[in-house]
Structure 1
């Protein structure tokens, strides 16, 4: 059995199939992990989601911001934006089964000494804390009050974690760290404005920000973390323990897959 980890697919089904063929993926014995953002903006969202649903016994998916947005739109908590193109999923006859399965997926996964998240882990959280906080969101998301969560999910505030936070405010900041974070301060203040490989604006009014994985004293620095979300990094972190797999397939670059056992990377070009 081999475990493979794929970067953000975002509905780019053909490059994903190219990668599966390249590594000779065998669903009878191999396992596929996804860093999330299965859908949105690519040409084959429904096909991608159906593939993971069909192979759900051999797949681990952590939720990304686009996956959460799809579910929020389906729940009536948000309208589709001009850049969203997952209407094929919303109109599909099997949408309820697909979305019910998606809602059961975690925000963080830990196995084989590796932690899988969509965006990252803030400097002040350990792996144990990350899994515990993710579970708080998962419990509400998978329960009867999930629509209330989607109603409260959007927003950049609060910009920093406090264990004193409660209710939906607490769940929002946990979700922002795990599914939207790129830059933050060493104490975890979030800069949700900058998206490039280097910060360009003074988003936090004089506070110095850096990529979440570059803070020297972050609690999970010795742990291997695999993430996506940040296409402009092009897979480069300069950190052996922070493995970035979003290489911008949906923007016409490449899709990346990691052989977790051999620690080798495979890539297919994207149109």
Structure 2
């Protein structure tokens, strides 16, 4: 069986309960994780440890909080009490080397699914997304990865300018893969300010979820993503969001990706942070 699970963010106990509920067996099954393994949740170290130990049975894409962990590791950001146990663990370097080797996009054409933490930027088809995934992976695995990430963190691009330079292109693609939620109806430019639930008021302002952009290039594969807890579990014929806000005392969601049933299993997360 192949299961996808939404953002964990250090919520280890609900994650374990959910795996038990779906009967996950790493010797037999495969697990797709949409990113944001760590940060804010109290047991981020335990989550990273489990995923690393079962890495042969797990497919992971990087999320914004995973990138933030690497930024902390390289001294580009300050740590926090939920990340400190990871950094203090004697296996930290091994974990960080593994994490920086993870992709931003994972494709299984036979299965008919492609996974990215926030989704596939609406301006691009699958071929371009995979091309930039390879570029970003090379950057993150290079000797100058820390310097590159520092440049990425100093700005963002809301659209892909064909006349732009490599830095602008990579900033746009990185933001699209790990941070996007909304785009503008008129031109598909990404909007990084809005984080809440889609509402009629936002639509009147010309802001829609990225996957509803009229100019979006459609893919043959269905897109699996997370990152958007206020959207929650959402699915149509083209996309499926699995971030159902476990961190915020809501739920963690698993979806069966193989077979015909598309079974969905949810697990309550009372250990999370009280919503603000």
Normalising by structure 2, report the TM-score. 0.90
- Give SS of 1:18's match: helix
Say if 2:136 and 2:174, in contact at 8 Å, map to a contact too. yes
Mark the runs of 5 or more structure 2 residues left unpaired by the alignment: 271-276
CA drift at 1:136 = 1.0
Say if 1:152 and 1:169, in contact at 8 Å, map to a contact too. no
- Give SS of 2:197's match: coil
Say if 1:255 and 1:269, in contact at 8 Å, map to a contact too. yes
What is residue 231 of structure 1 aligned with on the other side? 229
Select between 34-43 and 142-151 the one with higher mean Cα deviation. Answer: 142-151
CA drift at 1:216 = 3.4
User: Is 1:110 matched up with 2:107?
Assistant: yes
CA drift at 1:223 = 3.2
**1:158/1:216 CA distance change after superposition, 3 Å:** closer
User: Is 1:209 matched up with 2:213?
Assistant: no
CA drift at 1:185 = 2.1
What is residue 252 of structure 2 aligned with on the other side? 255
CA separation in 2, counterparts of 1:126 and 1:246?
Answer: 23
- Give SS of 1:267's match: strand
- Give SS of 2:247's match: helix
Say if 2:4 and 2:254, in contact at 8 Å, map to a contact too. yes
Matches within 5 A, 1:1-271: 2-80=1-79, 85-111=82-108, 112-186=111-185, 187-198=187-198, 208-220=206-218, 222-236=220-234, 239-261=236-258, 262-271=261-270
**1:24/1:183 CA distance change after superposition, 3 Å:** same
CA separation in 2, counterparts of 1:169 and 1:145?
Answer: 18
Mark the runs of 5 or more structure 1 residues left unpaired by the alignment: none
Select between 151-160 and 255-264 the one with higher mean Cα deviation. Answer: 151-160
Normalising by structure 1, report the TM-score. 0.91
**1:200/1:171 CA distance change after superposition, 3 Å:** farther
- Give SS of 2:234's match: coil
- Give SS of 1:231's match: coil
Say if 2:121 and 2:173, in contact at 8 Å, map to a contact too. no
- Give SS of 1:151's match: helix
- Give SS of 1:110's match: strand
CA separation in 2, counterparts of 1:127 and 1:72?
Answer: 28
CA drift at 1:222 = 4.8
Say if 1:231 and 1:246, in contact at 8 Å, map to a contact too. yes
CA separation in 2, counterparts of 1:232 and 1:109?
Answer: 24
- C-alpha distance after superposition, 1:178-206 (max 9, x if no partner): 1000001243311100001126999xxx9
RMSD across aligned positions (CA) = 1.9
Aligned residues: 264
Kindly report structure 1 stretches of 4+ aligned residues shifted beyond 4 Å: 199-202
